[in-house]
Amino acid sequence: MKFAVLVFPGSNCDIDCYKAVEDTLNEPVDYVWHTATDLSAYDCILVPGGFSYGDYLRCGAISRFAPVMAEVAKAAEQGKYVLGICNGFQILTEAGLLPGTLRRNMSLKFRCHDTVLRVENNENPFTSQYEKGQEIKIPIAHGEGNYYCDEETLAKLEENKQIIFRYVGNPNGSLDDIAGISNERGNVVGMMPHPERAVDSLLGSEDGKGMFISILKAWRDQHESASIR
């Protein structure tokens, strides 16, 4: 399985994502600059955190027009895995790959600390290594992580089991305590907390490992079933 870590001007968690894949999975991984126009070689695209284009206008509002985002949309349509973390989540919502938007934290302050998440859906390719209802410790670092959508969208998220994680102790005012969601197909996930910063006990938690292991397992299962057919 081959991973791409996108890099925009202002990305600052790209190295964290790269090392999480390298150390947790020992699978091939490349940095891919935002001007790239071909992601066909990759099975999973990671859109990392940071302050792409300085977070001017709105977080992710400029990055969504980068050439590589057309390729991310194409990869998502093909069923490849896409994970947007923090600023990456904001970029995916701006690009229309995930519903809703991220607003300023209710406190109007940047929040940087560990949070507890509850796994709401463990039938997703990104969460199969967790138990439903399991609580995991994953850090946050954001000023605009307050998830919002309209009532109709929220009802659809619930109905389609697209709410992947909820906060236990909401740090930012997110609607319905939402910390992470998926698209309807389940192959695109966005979340504000940073699983790539929770893959080693030295970092304070290893609870993020499950996400990366889940992705690899989903990919292997998919290819094994395809080879059988």
Helices 209-228, 14-24: crossing angle, 10 deg rounding:
60
From the candidates 17, 44, 59, 194, which is the catalytic residue?
194
Going residue by residue through the chain (229 aa), what tens digit of pLDDT does each one get? 999 999 999 999 999 999 999 999 999 999 999 999 999 999 999 999 999 999 988 999 999 999 999 999 999 999 999 999 999 999 999 999 999 999 999 999 999 999 999 999 999 999 999 999 999 999 999 999 999 999 999 999 999 999 999 999 999 999 999 999 999 999 999 999 999 999 999 999 999 999 999 999 999 998 876 666 6
Tell me the chain's radius of gyration from C-alpha atoms.
16
Active-site residue flag, 194 = yes
Active-site residue flag, 86 = yes
Domains of the chain, by residue range, sit at 3-228
Ramachandran angles phi, psi of 16, nearest 5°: -60, -45
The residue ranges of DSSP E strands in 81-187, in sequence order, are 81-85, 101-103, 111-119, 135-142, 146-148, 163-167, 178-182
Q: What is the CATH number of domain 3-228?
A: 3.40.50.880
From the candidates 94, 120, 144, 196, which is the catalytic residue?
196
The one-letter code for the residue type at 50 is G
Contact 128, 214 (CB under 8 A): yes
CB burial class (10 A; 0-12, 13-18, 19+) of residue 123?
Answer: exposed
- Sole residue written with tokens 């939402």: 178
Three-class secondary structure of residue 158 per DSSP: helix
The residue ranges of DSSP E strands in 67-110, in sequence order, are 81-85, 101-103
From the candidates 13, 44, 59, 86, which is the catalytic residue?
86
pTM beyond cutoff 0.75: yes
